[in-house]
Amino acid sequence: MILADNIKAIREEKNLKQIEVATHIGVDKSAYSKIEKGSRALTVEELQKMAQLFNMTTDQIINYDGKIPQEVVIEDKTATEQMRLIQQLDEEDKQTIFRLIEKMLTNKKFKDFFAKNVAAL
């Protein structure tokens, strides 16, 4: 499939109108129509905005295989798979996750320390 076909298929799968996508990426409806027909190139910025609207990555749009990605549920993954998924995030999101984990670990150590020392009294 070519990119234009992928974009059209995804838009239809998401039940969006051409005008909705056009407005979101900042082009008029005729320019967007040309994108779906493959007669107008898509800028990187437009593709990024489209990915945001579709709740997909640009890579998922470019390599679309006819299936919208399913929601990722991390709890039922192995620790290795969880780390692999986390590594796919952008740097800011990764740092946020690691700060949350550090905070939770610090809280647990404090609770354990407190419970141990209060029990000793």
| CATH number, domain containing residue 33 | 1.10.260.40
| 108 part of a folded domain | yes
Range of the domain at 83: 79-119
pLDDT digits 0-9 by tens, 66-82: 876 566 677 777 888 88
* Of 83, 110, 105, residue with least CA distance to 94: 83
Mean pLDDT value of segment 38-47: 93
18, 64, 17: which is closest to 37 by C-alpha? 18
> What pLDDT band is residue 84 in, cutting at 50, 70 and 90?
confident
Residue 107 falls within a domain, yes or no? yes
The model carries a pTM of 0.56
Share of the chain above pLDDT 70, in %: 93
Together in a domain, 51 and 84: no
65 — pLDDT class (breaks 50, 70, 90): confident
CA dihedral 72→59→9→15, nearest 10 degrees, is 50
Whether 1 contacts 64, CB under 8 Å = yes
Check whether residue 25 and residue 58 sit in a common domain.
yes
Residues 51 and 9 in one domain: yes
In a domain, 74, yes or no: no
Q: Are residues 106 and 58 in the same domain?
A: no
Distances (CA, A) of 119 to 61, 77, 107, 114, 116: 57, 36, 18, 8, 5
pLDDT per residue as tens digits for the range 13-36: 999 999 999 999 999 999 999 999
